[in-house]
Copies of this chain bind each other. A is one copy, B any other.
Amino acid sequence: MAADNRQEFRETLLHQLQDALHLQNIALSTKLFLDLHPGDQVEVFELLSNEQQDYLISLLEDSDVAVLFSHQEDDETLEAVKGIEVDRLADIIEEMEPDEAADLLGDLPPDITKEALEQIEDSRDILQLLKFPDETAGGRMTTDYISVLSSATASHSIEVLRKLEPDTDVPYYIYVTDPDNKLLGVVGLRELVVSSPDTTISSIMDEEVFFTKAMLDQEEVAQIMVTYDLSSLPVVDDKNHLLGVVTHDDIMDVILEEATEDVYKLASVSDTDLEPDSPVKEQIKGRLPWLFLNSLTALFASWVISNFEGLIGQVAVLAIFQSVVAGQGGNAASQSVAMFVRAIALGNIPQNTTIKLLFRQMLVGLLQGLCIGTIVGIGVYLWRGNIYLGIVLGLALVGNLILAGIVGTLIPLGLKAVGQDPALASSVLVTAVTDSLGFFIFLSLANYFLPNLL
């Protein structure tokens, strides 16, 4: 199947499906939908109206809905389950992989989760997974892996493969444990295939297998899998018992989520599920608190300016240029913050380098300040004909860009040091400092040079 032009393909399919649903043509509706790859099912489903979605779900088998839910984003599934009775929901969840089922149950209201769990026959795997927070290795892992004892033979292992459902999440690795389920190693299918049938697993397994603890944060799990080019990473408990496996597709989702989170937090959007077409109410909930915080910091900056009200009354031209200083500081600080946020996300900040990095950002600020300060200073001198105005502006820019380097370093590194997400050093917080102090530096300098500015 050509993977390009899927969007066009989906649009066509969407219209056919909508027509079929509208005509209540059950056979055609389900056929059109189920012929799609689950990855396309999700995209097409999202574009249906709420009524169409509910109607389509009522037409599908439990197992088909389970496949759809497993491929959806968590918030989309939560939206879709609203129209489903708990009895049916329990049946659907029984058809899902244990890790997907646990994800969904963990997000549902507690009373519905409890009711659904009571109706699920074998809920042991799910209950075990529910113990781990969503955003950890344990929360991300699947329990649907293949394992054999180290004493098994190659032919026995192949027999195990033959008997298993073909749709395990980790189809190309067999994990090797002792009788107590402690992880000993891993065998790739390739080694298995090219071994003679009576080879014992212990002689072909790779003991140098990477593993991780269940409580490790998903971002660190992603870093590990990227660093070591792993397509799966086994998860163990404190005593090395194999609990599950995190796979590359989960990790791709993690990387995408974390990237969105970085972009959103830096832009002062707190709900990472928001999209441009999210309901207005949701958008305001995820955005307004930051604007409100910005009001407070902006009014603080206003208070800083208000201390120079007399000065501005005498030299109104200052009002024209005060924002240039503040704006440049905010931009330069955002540049530093962006670099720190990504470097931290990618694990690229070595320990004990804060001082060195701080001085480097200050030096960059100084040099950028000298360049921009000179250019803007000269420009303003030529425009307004007052050399002192140019000097005040130039000096203020140098000062505020050095400050931007300091703030842009210390806020993200400080947030990381206290265990917070460095991306919280969003424009609102950082510019609160560069604005207030930018105005202060500029207007103080102007006050000092007042006789020359009149």
Which of B2, B319, B361 is the one whose CB lies under 8 Å from A276?
Answer: B361
| A235 to chain B: closest residue by CB | B3
**Do A287 and B332 touch across chains, with their CB atoms under 8 A apart?**
yes
Question: Contacts A7-B347, A277-B353 given: A334-B268 contact, CB under 8 Å?
Answer: yes
Within 8 Å CB of A379, what residues of B?
Answer: 295, 299
Residue picked from A224, A298, A339, most chain B C-beta under 10 Å: A339
**Do B312 and A316 touch across chains, with their CB atoms under 8 A apart?**
yes
**Do B158 and A171 touch across chains, with their CB atoms under 8 A apart?**
no
Within 8 Å CB of A266, what residues of B?
Answer: 263, 266-267, 338
Copies of this chain, complex-wide, total: 2
Q: How far is the CA of A249 from the CA of B224 in the complex (A)?
A: 12
**Do B335 and A320 touch across chains, with their CB atoms under 8 A apart?**
no
Q: How far is the CA of A147 from the CA of B312 in the complex (A)?
A: 77
- Any B CB within 8 A of the CB of A63: no
Question: Contacts A189-B193, A322-B323, A338-B267 given: A357-B276 contact, CB under 8 Å?
Answer: yes
Within 8 Å CB of A439, what residues of B?
Answer: 323
**Do B291 and A368 touch across chains, with their CB atoms under 8 A apart?**
yes
**Do A339 and B274 touch across chains, with their CB atoms under 8 A apart?**
yes
**Do B253 and A226 touch across chains, with their CB atoms under 8 A apart?**
yes
Which of B233, B301, B357, B364 is the one whose CB lies under 8 Å from A3?
Answer: B233
Q: How far is the CB of A16 from chain B (nearest CB, A)?
A: 16
Q: How far is the CA of A176 from the CA of B320 in the complex (A)?
A: 69
- Any B CB within 8 A of the CB of A218: no
Question: Contacts A172-B188, A287-B332, A323-B322 given: A277-B166 contact, CB under 8 Å?
Answer: no
- Any B CB within 8 A of the CB of A351: yes
Within 8 Å CB of A162, what residues of B?
Answer: 193-194
Q: How far is the CA of A280 from the CA of B258 in the complex (A)?
A: 28
Within 8 Å CB of A340, what residues of B?
Answer: 276
- Any B CB within 8 A of the CB of A56: no
- Any B CB within 8 A of the CB of A302: yes
Q: How far is the CA of A38 from the CA of B208 in the complex (A)?
A: 13
| A384 to chain B: closest residue by CB | B306
| A172 to chain B: closest residue by CB | B172
**Do A323 and B326 touch across chains, with their CB atoms under 8 A apart?**
yes
From A18-26, A105-113, A116-124, A209-217, give the one contacting chain B: A209-217
- Any B CB within 8 A of the CB of A385: no
Within 8 Å CB of A194, what residues of B?
Answer: 158, 161-162
| A267 to chain B: closest residue by CB | B338
Partner-B contacts on A (CB < 8 A): 1-4, 6-7, 11, 37-40, 42-43, 47, 71, 158, 161-162, 166, 171-172, 188-194, 208-213, 216, 220-222, 224-229, 231, 233, 248-249, 251-253, 255-256, 258-260, 262-264, 266-269, 274-277, 280, 283-284, 287-288, 290-292, 294-295, 298-299, 301-302, 305-306, 309-310, 312-313, 316-324, 326-328, 330-332, 334-343, 346-351, 353, 356-357, 360-361, 363-364, 367-368, 371-372, 375-376, 379-380, 383, 409, 427-428, 431, 435, 439
- Taking A7-B351, A280-B360 as known contacts, 9 extra A-B pairs with beta carbons closer than 8 A to each other, sorted by chain A number, are A252-B255, A259-B259, A277-B356, A277-B357, A299-B379, A309-B317, A322-B323, A323-B326, A330-B427
